[in-house]
Amino acid sequence: MPDPKLTEEQIEAIAERAAQKAVAALTDHVYREIGKGIVSKLYTVVGVCAAAVVLWATSKGWIKP
- What would the DSSP string read from start to end of 13-49? HHHHHHHHHHHHHHHHHHHHHHHHHHHHHHHHHHHHH
Domain edges within the chain: 8-65
> What's the alpha-carbon Rg for the chain, to the nearest Å?
28
In the chain, pLDDT over 90 holds for what percent of residues? 86
Q: How confident is the model at residue 44 (pLDDT cuts 50, 70, 90)?
A: very high
Could you tell me which residue, 54 or 65, shows the higher pLDDT?
Answer: 54
The reported pLDDT for the residue numbered 60 is 93
- Distance, in Å, from the CA atom of 37 to the CA atom of 11, rounded to the nearest integer, reads 39
Q: Is the pLDDT of residue 6 over 70?
A: yes
